[in-house]
Amino acid sequence: MIPWVFLVCSLPLSAAVVPTKTLGVSPDLSSKYVPSKAGTWRCLDGSKEISWDFVNDDSCDCLDGSDEPGTGACPDTQFYCQNEGHIGTYIPSSRVNDGLCEVQCCDGSDERSGVCPNLCKEIGDAYKKKRDAELKIQREGAKVRSSYIAYAHQEKKRLEAEAQALAEQIKIKEKEVQRLQDIAERTESLSQAALEQKKKSPLYQSLLAHNNALKSLQREHNKHLEREKALGEILDALRTGYNPNYQDMAVLEAVRGWEELAGLPHINDVGKETEGSEESKEEDAVIEEELEEGALSADDLQREVPGLLDTDYISLMLEHEEHIQAPVEGSILFDLTSYMPDSVIPAYEDFKDILISWLQKFGIVSADGSAADSSRAQQALHDAENELDSLKKNMETAESDAKEIFNIHGFGAKGEWKKLDGTCLEKDTGDYTYEVCLFKEVKQKPNHGGTTFSLGKFESWNPSSEVEPGRPEFYQKQVYKHGTRCWNGPERNVVLKLTCGVENAILTVQELEKCEYEFTGTSPALCLSVQENGTKNGQPREEL
Amino acid sequence: MRTWSLLGVVTLLIAQESWAFKAHDFKTCSQSGFCRRGRDLSARAKEAKSWTSPYSVDPSSINISSNNAVFSAAVKSSLYPEVNFGLEVRVQEDGVARVRMDEVGGLRKRYDEAAGWALIEEPTISTAIKWTTSKKDIRAVYGEKKDIEVVVAFEPLRVSLLRGGKEQIVLNGQGLLHMEHFRTKVEAATATEEPEPEGAESPEGVESPEVEDQVVVEVPNPRAWFEGHEEDALWEETFGSWTDSKPKGPESLSLDINFPNHGTVYGIPQHATRLALPTTKGDDSTFTDPYRLYNSDVFEYLASSPVSLYGSIPLMHAHSTESTVAVFHLVGSETWIDVSHASEKSTETHWVSESGILDTFLLPGPTAEDVFKQYARLTGTPVMPTQWSLGYHQCRWNYVSSDDVRTVQKRFDEEDMPVDVFWLDIEYSEGHKYFMWNDKTFPDPVEMTNDVAVNGRKMVVIVDPHLKREDNYPAFKQASELGILVKPKSGEGEYEGWCWPGSSSWTDFFNPASWDWWKSMFKIQAGEKWSWTQSTTDVHIWNDMNEPSVFNGPEITMPKDNIHHGGWEHRDIHNINGMLFSNLTYQAVAERTDPPTRPFVLTRAFFAGSQRFGAMWTGDNLGTWEHMAVGVKMVLANGLGGLSFAGSDVGGFFGNPEPEMLVRWYQVGAFAPFFRAHAHIDTKRREPFLLDAPYKGIVKDILRLRYTLLPMWYTAFRETSVTGMPILRPQFVMFPKDKAGFDIDDQYYIGSSGLLVKPVTAKDVREAKVYLAEDQVYYDYFTNHAYRGAAKGKEITVAAELDQLPLFLRGGSVLATRERPRRSSPLMKHDPFTLRVALSKAGSARGELYLDDGETYDHQKGHFVWRAFVAERAGKKGLRLHSADLGAARPAEAVDGAALAVYDPANAFTAGIAQVRVEKVVVVGLAGKPSSVKVEGGAELVWEYTPGVAAGDKKEGTASILTIKDPKVLIHKDWAIVIQ
């Protein structure tokens, strides 16, 4: 490195006021801005020794730009505004001496003297007012937040209690199931042999085959219905969403075809309601399909097929036999004694009394004992098992819900969001009302008719890898994903940006790019108490 | 399942189809009646054993004007002896010969007003011309050296321009001149009974709907050798579902223009193709269709095609190692141009236009610089733009709200990335009624603009030419009441077509009654009538869709039989139409203030003369490498056509460019005169601050580089505002005798700055080859590595990693830059300059700097600074760098129509920047370490010297660098720095 040749500077032609050597230097660095005894100064990175005269001479000398803290001559450095009476702050060097008075630099030190007034008093006052207002909101919000936290704790207790209660119910239910199982097993085994024989009947076999076919048909039918529904939605979206201006005949044909098929008016005519439309409605009514005598309509099918499929064929078979043959001898259950060795009969009679009383109690057999059969016993068992399952599920849910309340990825470490689970907030933007059901789903509902679209289901809090889960800023962003797919585009997604506010509210909705929505809103759940907030970084929050 | 998978395949095919150029929306030559007739004529001429043009001058009719300057005569066609034509040839003061021909006393009048819109004034005719008549021809000899000659041969008619006895330009040399005269429609009742047998003579074997229109003429036709046997689409023409009624019948104009001694042609923008125009005819021609000029909104245009695009400039340059000439064929109707080469040294072109008179200018050159000047004398020089419009423009379809705009601005500022302009596309408007803000999303447009303007920035807001037909829309209502809307073919009522707002009508700017009205729309102060008061002087305008684009019209534009002011059909003025819109918008924006201030207007459609009204861009390009590459060529071609203020959308309008492509595209954009990033509504957001490292940092550096070089760009605009020289100069303009450079269109020089750039426009490129056509030293802009060219041309290979842009400063240049990053360019106004002195082999350098307020028209009154920085050898080994006042030296050619008699160095602008100084001087390529560096008459300066390769060496490697610290010399003063 060849040193600068130091010679007396030529007379300054510029009348610009030479800034003081420490202009733009922050207090903690000011000790470094002193000349050596030789009248030199070393760049802060140590790379170069320059004349003290070159510091803040509006000409960049150091590689790190440290010789020009106050002039903007060195790119990408920082200028410190003292802002006496207010809060000192840094601005980028690109804003120094650019002719604009920076709001952040209320003392006007960023421009040559005389350009910018010192507004620190006014700005400081205004800042204080603004800050006070913010603090007020924060305090109010924090109160609500505490109530949310309290709610979360109550909720946890409630859920735990519920789980406990359920556990007790489960115990009882388990016993009950056990008993019913015994009964069912017995009835089952008792009737098994006879049943097996009957089941060989061609009629029963044929019924099974029919049942199977009907089931398959139903499954296929449902599949088709779903597919048709999905196709209908796609075509509806195409119909309402396509741009007729593009004059794409393929799209136009598709839309017209769909409209004809679905009996919809042409989209361009919607809103131009005339008398003509009523006529066409009448016509629609006439076109209704004519059905064969006794054939089921689509609605009938929906209603009746499930019932048909649920038919208990064994009962049916038995009833059928009853109907065809002479009255059957007493039900197997009541006539078992005839098959038993005499020695067991007394014990059996005891058991039978208990069993029948149980069965009667559960409505499986009538007191006269004539209608009892194994399938009814099965049914009772099945119902009891279902109840048990549902109890267990409820308990699991209650337990896991209780745990989830304090999951940082869920309702926050303090459970402050639990209260808002499923809370729906709306924002009317004129054409649409947007509905955010927190932790559930975001929807776009048209105000003037049309299809409601899902904009996405709750996916996560702030997914950015730069934000640590559980930190306050983690809860300033929610992501909803996999909404209804856009025509010719991606699935709709929402980013919900939240700040502390007294109310739970959606403030703005913007579709920043196609199918990507940005919502902003407020929630008291984000209002940390002033102490919490103030000390979160171990230092007071002093931002402008 | 099978059917489903099949369906899947079909959908896939459809989906792919939808992402492509819709060829069926636009005519090929064979689908255009008059083009088909023209090409058939050319084919017959080619096949004929002998071929003589039927057109001849009647020698008895020759008339030479009293001042001897204008030659006129009657022209006859042997095909139609009863029809009269008139020919006129004038030579202008600057040597340009203008040839005009029209039908005389015909049934109707051919459109003859194109010149009125394109030319800045009626050219001055030279009075120093003397015409000499012989039996065979009439000729005029002129030029300083009396070496230019215009010859009009009588039989057949043939017009040629010669230099030094060598033919430069020949009209009708191949006998393809044909001016279809107006005729009465003969109802051929019998002929239609006997339809033409299938397949017979179907032109080019293409089955097209309008074949049905052909009428078989039974009687032997004595004109068939020339016109063909059939009357082809003379009175009606169908394309797709549209029928053009052609009430005037045939009126096309065919003309062959040959350049017998020029093997390369350029120009006729706008086409997505190479700069040196590939052939469209002859063996192995690149394209099979002619180049078309018919302003069109072409959705997802192809990256290599002769298909017409958004604008048309019927100017063609012909170049050889000996000279450059050009023809300006001034026609406003649809025009097709075939290009072929009979030999390597010659070029044949054939121009077929649908209507209009023959009005052709022969620009004699002989250098490219002369041609640019001659063309600028006709249609004007590019206007001196607002200074800020050379900064970076951030656009997107769409920034969705005023808060969105504010947020985008905030993000730029947080990243300290410079930007000058935020743009609003059509969605700002309520129902696409331009001027009418959507008050839900833009409730506070004035406050929003002010929030942008507070940082020295501007807004550009779109205003398209279609007016939504809604009575509560003031623009439509007023225009409708004034009766200034384009009329349908009936000539009554208002033409109605579809565009963004749905049912729309179009203002007829050919109607002078529309002019004051349009200007009144932009008034910010409230008046009696509605005007755009929700606007400020910081709002400038983007004119899109002015081809005009009509979604449900033939070829996505207006029917040709629509009626404009004066009863002219749309076919007559189609290519001019878009220019009038941007012209009037330009005037409207200028006149918002009193006195007027410089407007910025971006236009998509353009015509010869559009350079007077602002900038253009290459329309809706695709985010592909091919489009990035062809965009560079298109911008170069526009420059040759006079429209220097041009650029392509950075990032590509359609698609989502990957970061590498986006970075390269910023490098391309930063070196185009107009630098704007734009994106389609379906794309992901891609503002530079959204990029990840390292891409974000690279783009930030590119943006800052653009701003550093803004003084260079502005200085380059000054030059073109006076000379018409293109700002981006391709190799043939710089080195006209270097044949190897004629086809090079991927590297270029910027103005007279000495900067040579070769943008990288391909994926995964890590090094680039750059062609140096001269024996000169070139310094890498970033590293000061010295490269050596060679007199016979030399290709060098340089590193081109993603963050490296091949950018060189030619030895012999002085470049003035501003190195302090700012948020926007107006904030740089008082920043000091750095001078980079790149010594030539001979040890000298020169550069210029032009500055003015960048906003008002005061520069035309002499309020500017125009300096030359000259470094010359001083004494034995010294170098003297001095600043000289060019404004004082050459006031008449300073800037933009300001033909000043004297320049006052103490003008108001200079006073405002009196303290602006040079903060640093970098001298590259000194032979050795100086012993002293002083301001002349001053003390020793502070400097630092790093040894390296000297400019005069034969070696390559990092050049020596002398850095002079803050000489404190003022930019507007004369001074000298002496290096011993």
Q: Which residue ranges make up each domain of chain A?
A: 1-118, 159-269+296-405, 418-534
Would you call B820 and A8 a contact, using CB atoms and an 8 Å cutoff? Answer: no
Would you call B945 and A11 a contact, using CB atoms and an 8 Å cutoff? Answer: no
Q: What is the nearest CA distance from B260 to chain A, expressed in angstroms?
A: 46
Which residues of chain B have a CB within 8 Å of the CB of A75? 704, 819-821
Catalytic residue among B180, B231, B572, B620: B620
Q: Which residue of B has its CA nearest to A15?
A: B915
Average pLDDT, chain A: 81
Q: Is B547 a catalytic site residue?
A: yes
More confident call, A336 vs A78: A78
Tell me the one-letter amino acid at B122: E
Distance CA B359, CA B357 (A): 6
The confidence band for A279, taking pLDDT boundaries of 50, 70 and 90, is very low
| Whole-number pLDDT of residue A352 | 64
User: Backbone phi, then psi, for B935, in 5-degree steps?
Assistant: -75, 135
CB of A16 within 8 Å of a chain B CB? The answer is yes
User: Backbone phi, then psi, for A42, in 5-degree steps?
Assistant: -100, 130
Q: Is B649 a catalytic site residue?
A: no
Q: What is the nearest CA distance from A61 to chain B, expressed in angstroms?
A: 8
475-494 in chain A: CB under 8 A from chain B? 488-489
Rg (CA), chain B: 29
Nearest neighbour of A10 by CB, restricted to B454, B828, B968 = B968
Catalytic residue among B210, B354, B547, B746: B547
Q: What is the nearest CA distance from B746 to chain A, expressed in angstroms?
A: 33
Would you call A94 and B822 a contact, using CB atoms and an 8 Å cutoff? Answer: yes
Which residues of chain B have a CB within 8 Å of the CB of A254? none
44-63 in chain A: CB under 8 A from chain B? 54, 57-59, 61
| Whole-number pLDDT of residue A314 | 72
Quick one: chain A helix, strand, coil %, rounded to 5?
A: 50, 15, 40
Q: Tell which residue, B602, B645, B658, B650, has the closest CA to residue B627.
A: B650
Would you call A5 and B944 a contact, using CB atoms and an 8 Å cutoff? Answer: yes
Tell me the one-letter amino acid at A57: D
The confidence band for A370, taking pLDDT boundaries of 50, 70 and 90, is very low
Size of the A and B interface in Cβ pairs below 8 Å: 117
Delimit the domains of chain B by residue range: 23-50+180-244, 728-979
Coil, strand or helix at A525: helix
CB of A269 within 8 Å of a chain B CB? The answer is no
Question: Tell me: the pLDDT tens digits for A188-244?
Answer: 666 666 777 777 778 888 888 888 888 888 888 889 988 988 888 888 888 877 776
Mean pLDDT (whole number) for A273-287: 43
Would you call B941 and A7 a contact, using CB atoms and an 8 Å cutoff? Answer: yes
At the fourth CATH level, the homologous superfamily of domain B728-979 is Golgi alpha-mannosidase II (2.60.40.1180)
User: Backbone phi, then psi, for B259, in 5-degree steps?
Assistant: -120, 85
**Secondary structure element (H or E) that encloses residue B369, with its range:** helix B368-379
| Whole-number pLDDT of residue A210 | 85
Tell me the one-letter amino acid at B683: T
Q: Is the peptide bond preceding residue B398 cis, with omega within 30 degrees of 0?
A: yes
Number of Cβ atoms within 10 Å of the Cβ of B627: 26
Q: Which of A93, A100, A228 to mutate to test the interface with B (most CBs of B within 10 A)?
A: A100
Question: Tell me: the pLDDT tens digits for B163-198?
Answer: 999 999 999 999 999 999 999 998 765 544 444 444
Asked whether A137 and A502 are in contact (CB, 8 A), the reply is yes
Number of Cβ atoms within 10 Å of the Cβ of A148: 24
| Whole-number pLDDT of residue B449 | 98
Contact residues for A179 (Cβ-Cβ < 8 A; gap 6+): A358
CB of A94 within 8 Å of a chain B CB? The answer is yes
Mean pLDDT (whole number) for A381-391: 88
Fold (topology level) of A418-534: Cation-dependent Mannose-6-phosphate Receptor; Chain A (2.70.130)
Which residues of chain B have a CB within 8 Å of the CB of A430? 440
| Whole-number pLDDT of residue A7 | 38
Contact residues for A433 (Cβ-Cβ < 8 A; gap 6+): A426, A427, A444, A445, A447
Q: What is the nearest CA distance from B44 to chain A, expressed in angstroms?
A: 39
Instruction: Please count the helices (runs of H) and the strands (runs of E) in chain A.
Output: 9, 12
The confidence band for A530, taking pLDDT boundaries of 50, 70 and 90, is confident
DSSP string, B895-932: BTTB--S---TT-HHHHHTTT-EEEEEEEE--SS--S-
| Whole-number pLDDT of residue A429 | 84
Question: Tell me: the pLDDT tens digits for B96-129?
Answer: 999 999 999 999 999 999 999 999 999 999 888 8
CB burial readout B704-735, b (16+ within 10 A) else e? bbbbbbbbbbbbbbbbbbbbbbbbbbbbbbbb
Q: Is B620 a catalytic site residue?
A: yes
| Whole-number pLDDT of residue A368 | 47
Q: What is the nearest CA distance from B831 to chain A, expressed in angstroms?
A: 8
Q: What is the nearest CA distance from B832 to chain A, expressed in angstroms?
A: 9
Q: Tell which residue, B920, B906, B753, B713, has the closest CA to residue B831.
A: B920
Catalytic residue among B464, B544, B555, B649: B544
CB burial readout A219-233, b (16+ within 10 A) else e? eeeeeeeeeeeeeee
Would you call B966 and A245 a contact, using CB atoms and an 8 Å cutoff? Answer: no
| Whole-number pLDDT of residue A353 | 66
Tell how strand B55-57 and strand A516-523 pair up. unpaired
Would you call B820 and A72 a contact, using CB atoms and an 8 Å cutoff? Answer: yes
Would you call A100 and B500 a contact, using CB atoms and an 8 Å cutoff? Answer: no
Length of chain B: 980
Which residues of chain B have a CB within 8 Å of the CB of A52? none
- How far apart, in Å, do the first and last CA atoms of chain A sit? 43
- Six-digit token pair at A420? 């808002």
Tell how strand A441-446 and strand A432-437 pair up. antiparallel
Would you call B920 and A9 a contact, using CB atoms and an 8 Å cutoff? Answer: no
> Angle at the Cα of B897 (from B894 to B902), degrees rounded to 5?
45
Question: Tell me: the pLDDT tens digits for B449-496?
Answer: 999 999 999 999 999 999 999 999 999 999 999 999 999 999 999 999
Question: Tell me: the pLDDT tens digits for A424-438?
Answer: 999 998 889 999 999
Mean pLDDT (whole number) for A55-59: 95
Question: Please, what are the averages of pLDDT over each run of 10 residues along chain B (980 residues)?
Answer: 40 43 90 96 95 96 87 96 97 95 97 98 90 94 93 97 97 98 80 45 45 55 91 92 95 98 97 98 94 95 95 98 98 98 96 98 97 97 96 96 96 97 97 96 97 98 97 97 97 96 97 98 95 98 97 96 98 98 98 96 98 96 96 98 97 95 98 97 94 96 98 98 97 98 98 98 97 98 97 96 97 98 97 98 97 96 96 92 96 85 93 96 96 94 97 95 97 96
Nearest neighbour of B400 by CB, restricted to A16, A95, A512 = A512
Would you call B915 and A16 a contact, using CB atoms and an 8 Å cutoff? Answer: yes
Question: Dihedral of the CA atoms B897, B899, B900, B905 (nearest 10)?
Answer: 50
Burial classification of residue B318, based on how many CB atoms lie within 10 Å of its CB (0-12 exposed, 13-18 middle, 19 or more buried): buried
